[in-house]
């Protein structure tokens, strides 16, 4: 088995523009569009104190974190503005009563147009903060995927223009995680031989040319595009939709069509 490449040196440089993009607010909820490159909650040490939660709490001191996205992942993050709302929202995530859809650009072409990746995951104690597939002691993890039309790919890869002619084949995917394990989408796609564009933490070890191109990508091509949940106060079904910068031909209306229609949900485009 090919040994994994060492994790790259970590240097934290969170973006400052925009400082904070609040997309929706009521007395219970705050929905923020998270940029790539910023932690959702603070890490260990003062150099990792700047995070989405800290920025939100500068304006809303009562704000409470409900769920997280990886530092390199962009997209929808929900905060609670009251304790009862926090408890209700966290229960929905724990009981899988939310619906989530991510967009990702991956290296290579998948053999099937859609399917389910069912691979158990566990922390990789030999290479933190990575996770890995482990059939003996890993926790169950399932991800549904659907390949999307190629027109949304090459012209929006956000790679150096001087390397466009040498780009490897890529695919744009819609991803629906059933479980919510750490780094689940990144590990699942890497394990089946299709690492996400720009993922320096999980490059594909048997294809060093992918690692050579990782640094050309300005970001990890993984975006939390849709989040559907019940409002914690009145139980109204809400669907938040947020387009990805690397999939310009999928604006909010087209993006919304990728998730099963729920006529009872109020759609909110961010």
Q: Name the residues annotated as catalytic.
A: 70
Take residue 242 and report the two structure tokens written for it: 């947020």
Among 237, 62, 65, 210, which Cα is nearest to 51's?
Answer: 65
DSSP string, 93-128: HHTT-SEEEEEEEEES--SSSEEEEE--EEE-TTST
DSSP string, 47-64: GG---HHHHHHHH-TT-E
Q: Are 239 and 266 in contact (CB under 8 A)?
A: yes
Residue position matching structure tokens 């099963």: 260
CA gap 269, 242 in Å, rounded: 6
* Phi/psi of residue 117, nearest 5 degrees: -95, 115
Q: Are 36 and 220 in contact (CB under 8 A)?
A: yes
Q: Are 173 and 148 in contact (CB under 8 A)?
A: yes
């Amino acid at each position: 088995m090919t040994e994994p490449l060492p994790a790259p040196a970590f240097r934290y440089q969170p973006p400052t523009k925009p400082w904070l993009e609040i997309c929706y607010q009521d007395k219970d909820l705050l929905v923020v569009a998270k940029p790539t490159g910023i932690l959702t909650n603070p890490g260990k040490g003062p150099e990792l104190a700047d995070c989405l939660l800290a920025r939100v709490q500068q304006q809303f001191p009562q704000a409470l974190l409900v769920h997280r996205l990886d530092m390199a992942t962009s997209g929808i993050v929900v905060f609670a503005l009251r304790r009862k709302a926090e408890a209700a929202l966290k229960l929905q995530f724990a009981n899988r009563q939310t619906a989530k859809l991510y967009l990702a650009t991956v290296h290579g072409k998948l053999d099937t147009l859609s399917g389910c990746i069912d691979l158990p995951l566990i922390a990789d104690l030999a290479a933190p903060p990575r996770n890995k597939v482990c059939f003996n002691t890993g926790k169950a993890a399932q991800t549904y995927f659907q390949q999307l039309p190629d027109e949304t790919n090459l012209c929006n890869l956000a790679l150096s223009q001087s390397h466009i002619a040498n780009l490897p084949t890529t695919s744009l995917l819609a991803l629906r995680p059933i479980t919510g394990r750490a780094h689940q989408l990144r590990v699942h796609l890497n394990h089946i031989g299709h690492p996400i564009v720009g993922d320096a933490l999980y490059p594909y070890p048997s294809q060093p040319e992918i690692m050579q191109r990782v640094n050309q990508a300005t970001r990890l091509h993984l975006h939390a595009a849709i989040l559907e949940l019940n409002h914690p106060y009145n139980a109204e079904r809400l669907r938040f939709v947020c387009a990805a910068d690397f999939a310009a031909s999928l604006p909010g209306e087209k993006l919304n069509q990728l998730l099963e229609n729920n006529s009872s949900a109020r759609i909110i485009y961010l």
